[in-house]
Amino acid sequence: MNPSALRLDPNPISFTGSTHYKLYRTSPLCRPCRVSGTFSNVKCSSLKSAVAEPTREAVARIDGLSQVSGVLGCQWGDEGKGKLVDILAKHFDVVARCQGGANAGHTIYNNEGKKFALHLVPSGILNEETLCVIGNGVVVHLPGLFGEIDGLESNGVSCDGRILVSDRAHLLFDFHQEVDGLREAELAKSFIGTTKRGIGPAYSSKVIRNGIRVGDLRHMDTFPQKLEVLLLDAASRFKDFKFGPEMLREEVEKYKRFAERLEPFIADTVLVMNESISQKKKVLVEGGQATMLDIDFGTYPFVTSSSPSAGGICTGLGIAPRVVGDLIGVVKAYTTRVGSGPFPTEILGQGGDLLRFAGQEFGTTTGRPRRCGWLDLVALKFSCDINGFSSLNLTKLDVLSDLPEIHLGVSYKDVDGTPIKSFPGDLRVLERLKVEYEVLPGWKTDISSVRNYDDLPLAARRYVERIEELVGVPVHYIGVGPGRDALIYK
């Protein structure tokens, strides 16, 4: 990486709070990066290792996590939540997904370095004793789910009796994906930038109350009528959506086969979850996407269609707020997002491209290049306030190793110089604000093999501790690579 391409401003503004930091000011434009070309995944031979052995103190801390704990994203998704869930899963009896759909791609690795890209199946599936629950708040694409199960089984991961799907979860059909693409094309230059996996249209069907739920597959006598209503609604809305009797017959026949295969997986997961809690079993909730994509708190309308913040846990699983305890926020050591929408700390041009390739920032689900920028502490503090995180998992710290200096977005100001105290909901404000940066020294040392916090270079530890200081939440886990073992327990 050419670090000089990542400098934002040649004229530093002095920062009186510390001798270790300088303050830079810039006003990044909120434009999506456009990177042409394709990207192919490369298997990393260094991933062939066992799970990192945490210290005695770290084990005590993990074992001390609340009976119902959660792992949620702090930014715009793609922070690496799946890896932490996979590692923590052996300390929990149940791992549950509470919202989202197959747009949430979580990449995890087993002990042999084999890569698994999961989208609907919870990331605890590699731990043999873990029960995986897909809750009522998830929208389920059955062809995708069965594809994941087949892939896991073919690689020696048993799913029999280990995955439960809520009978209240809504079904996502192939036509929802087609509608998603038609909707994006209709929006033209104002497109949301969805994964085109049909998530939004499936939630739309749910909210306008003509959706079809998993439990409806048990009543195939009425299923055709319900599906016809959905298809006619799509045809009436989009002139390019082609629907006829033959399409309906084919879909009904397909879902008859799906219903038979899915039956062993269907459960009243609200009952399962609450019985598990009453039996003192430990539950880990795996969030999809992240707070800045929340339908209420994110950069609306450039958001997902569910609630990936803490509130989605209760509504997506049917459990009481009082039982939810520790929540771990997962945050990348820099910031990325996909699709359109404001991105205050985005690095445009060559600098963003270099960070993108250094961090292999291409979507698990779509392969799309992600937009890259510096860590935005205003957005992170906003996320911490909403979710009440007890600790943070800082991921991909190793990606920053080549840089001579690293920028932290620490505050916002309006164009007239007025301080903006929190992450604003007004997109016009977001598009014009100025970000103030602290600049910390880099460490220019490969840290991918470091497993103890005290062995990190001093500059790397300063970076971690400055984040803790500014957001007021401790960092307990630090990712320094994609493998299971590449984790530092702090």
* 395 annotated binding-site participant: no
Q: What angle do CA 418, 422, 423 make, to 5 degrees?
A: 105
Token pair, residue 188, equals 């033209």
Cα(90)–Cα(312) distance, integer angstroms: 24
Please identify which of the residues 106, 119, 141, 381 carries the catalytic annotation. Answer: 106
Q: What angle do CA 205, 96, 131 make, to 5 degrees?
A: 130
* 414 annotated binding-site participant: no
Please identify which of the residues 78, 86, 326, 485 carries the catalytic annotation. Answer: 78
All residues at 6 or more sequence positions from 201 whose CB lies less than 8 Å from its CB, including other chains: 176, 177, 179, 180, 183, 234
* Residue with token string 């809305």: 237
For the chain, how many residues are written?
A: 490
* 418 annotated binding-site participant: no
141 catalytically annotated? no
All residues at 6 or more sequence positions from 490 whose CB lies less than 8 Å from its CB, including other chains: 453, 464, 474, 475, 476, 477, 478
* 242 annotated binding-site participant: no
The separation between the first and the last C-alpha atoms of the chain, rounded to the nearest angstrom, is 28
Cα(204)–Cα(64) distance, integer angstroms: 40
* 133 annotated binding-site participant: no
* 481 annotated binding-site participant: yes
* 80 annotated binding-site participant: yes
* 376 annotated binding-site participant: no
* 365 annotated binding-site participant: yes
- Residue 40, exposed/middle/buried by CB under 10 A (0-12, 13-18, 19+)? exposed
* 364 annotated binding-site participant: yes
219: left (phi over 0), alpha (psi -120 to 50) or beta: beta
Q: Which amino acid makes up residue 234?
A: A
* 176 annotated binding-site participant: no
* 124 annotated binding-site participant: no
Best CA proximity match to 241, nearest among 252, 230, 231, 253: 231
Task: Determine the 3-state secondary structure of 375 from DSSP.
Answer: strand
* 78 annotated binding-site participant: yes
* 398 annotated binding-site participant: yes
CA distances from 396 to 68, 140, 377 (A): 26, 30, 16
* 103 annotated binding-site participant: yes
281 catalytically annotated? no
Token pair, residue 102, equals 């197959």
* 404 annotated binding-site participant: no
Cα(319)–Cα(307) distance, integer angstroms: 15
Token pair, residue 472, equals 């007021």
160 catalytically annotated? no
Best CA proximity match to 274, nearest among 213, 319, 331: 319
* 397 annotated binding-site participant: yes
* 168 annotated binding-site participant: no
* 83 annotated binding-site participant: yes
Cα(448)–Cα(439) distance, integer angstroms: 23
CB contact at 8 A, 391 and 328:
yes
* 165 annotated binding-site participant: no
* 102 annotated binding-site participant: no
* 209 annotated binding-site participant: yes
* Residue with token string 């001093």: 458
Please identify which of the residues 119, 170, 196, 206 carries the catalytic annotation. Answer: 206
Binding-site residues for substrate, please?
Answer: 364-370
Q: Which residues are annotated as a binding site for Mg(2+)?
A: 78, 105
Q: Annotated binding site for GTP, which residues?
A: 77-83, 105-107, 370, 396-398, 479-481
User: Which residues are the active-site residues?
Assistant: 78, 106, 206
Q: Which residues are annotated as a binding site for IMP?
A: 78-81, 103-106, 195, 209, 289, 304, 368
Which residue numbers belong to the known binding site? 77-83, 103-107, 195, 209, 289, 304, 364-370, 396-398, 479-481
